[in-house]
Amino acid sequence: MFVINEASWDRIARVIVGIALLAVGWSGLVEGNWAVFLKVIGWVPVATGLIGWCPAYTVCHFSTK
């Protein structure tokens, strides 16, 4: 069971950053491996922001909530 360890401001910031990474990856501003990298990595902050749980925070015993 996951315990929410992100504050609302942290979750909002993660979703915004994730969407920005995805947008840059799909927009054509970067090409090749960088575009693929941004598309893959962009989903991480989006997912953690929507879920409210960050595995790195759990490992480090950290919380912004």
Q: Could you report the per-residue pLDDT of 39-63, keeping only the tens digit for each?
A: 999 999 999 999 999 999 999 999 9
Which residue's entry shows tokens 């925070």? 57
Name 7's Cβ contacts closer than 8 Å, sequence gap at least 6: 64, 65
In a domain, 64, yes or no: no
Which pLDDT does position 2 carry in this prediction?
79
Could you please report the per-residue DSSP string of 7-62?
-HHHHHHHHHHHHHHHHHHHHTSS-THHHHHHHHHHHHHHHHHHHT--HHHHHTT-
Residue type at position 53? W
Is 24 within the bounds of a domain?
yes
pTM flag (> 0.85): yes
Range of the domain at 55: 8-59
Q: Does residue 23 lie in a domain region?
A: yes
Domain count along the chain: 1
CA–CA distance, 38 with 5 (Å, rounded to integer): 25
Is residue 65 situated within a structural domain?
A: no
